[in-house]
Structure 1
């Protein structure tokens, strides 16, 4: 007990450190979402494939440069044609990130072992001033 009283500041620092690690997870940052910068690094360093799961119309209106389109409704049939090697990193994105989370579950069910979701979707891609193209 004497140790605790004399070293109270160590306990305060430990609690503060734990809180700083916990807060991003509660906000969703640590729940498997990938930042736009991390997605670009993954594409450049590990040859990850960007898959946009928006509808064809949304994809035509604007998508991340280099992204391939596989609408969520057709993902089970389109993804194996777009990404043949199931060990290659796959980054899924949509307009806001909601559909790509569902798409990640489908991709994992299909046997893709390295599936990531772009946190915030195309909106976060644009906010990071990354290039967008239209068809």
Structure 2
């Protein structure tokens, strides 16, 4: 029982509402049923090699990342992903600091592909 609660506790401590790696079905539901906006925070080259259908590319490493994110509407769900989930975690921290409340870590691109999320 304790082992089952550990991932949930870690998600709560990290502030990742609604999705961590072990809750891929929630990520899929948000994208497919709730119409969540999808943000790809990888580099433009990574994005060009393949990305989630309809995803907006805002490179976390770009100087204008914070400014571009600040222009996004606050009243919708966002699923943020990168290659492994590390950069998306950092991006979510920035977004929360800017007042975004419904932000979910989609993890890595390959994981989303494995879920059957449409790609381009």
Q: Which residue of 2 aligns with 1:130?
A: 117
Q: For 2:39 and 2:87, locate their aligned partners in 1 and report how far apart those are by CA, in whole Å.
A: 12
Structure that is richer in helix per residue: 1
Q: Give TM-score, length-normalised by structure 1.
A: 0.70
Q: CA RMSD in A?
A: 2.3
Relative to structure 1, is the Cα distance of residues 131 and 114 closer, same or farther in structure 2, using a 3 angstrom cutoff?
A: same
Give 1:36 deviation, angstroms: 3.9
Any residues of structure 2 matched to 1:95-134 within 5 Å, and which? 95-119=83-107, 121-133=108-120
Q: Which residue of 2 aligns with 1:20?
A: 4
Q: For 1:132 and 1:47, locate their aligned partners in 2 and report how far apart those are by CA, in whole Å.
A: 15
Name structure 1 gaps, 5 residues minimum.
1-16
Name structure 2 gaps, 5 residues minimum.
none
Higher alpha-carbon Rg? 1
Any residues of structure 2 matched to 1:1-135 within 5 Å, and which? 17-22=1-6, 24-25=7-8, 32=16, 33=20, 35-72=23-60, 73=62, 74-81=64-71, 83-84=72-73, 86-119=74-107, 121-133=108-120
Q: For 2:91 and 2:3, locate their aligned partners in 1 and report how far apart those are by CA, in whole Å.
A: 31
Q: How many residues align?
A: 112
Relative to structure 1, is the Cα distance of residues 76 and 93 closer, same or farther in structure 2, using a 3 angstrom cutoff?
A: same
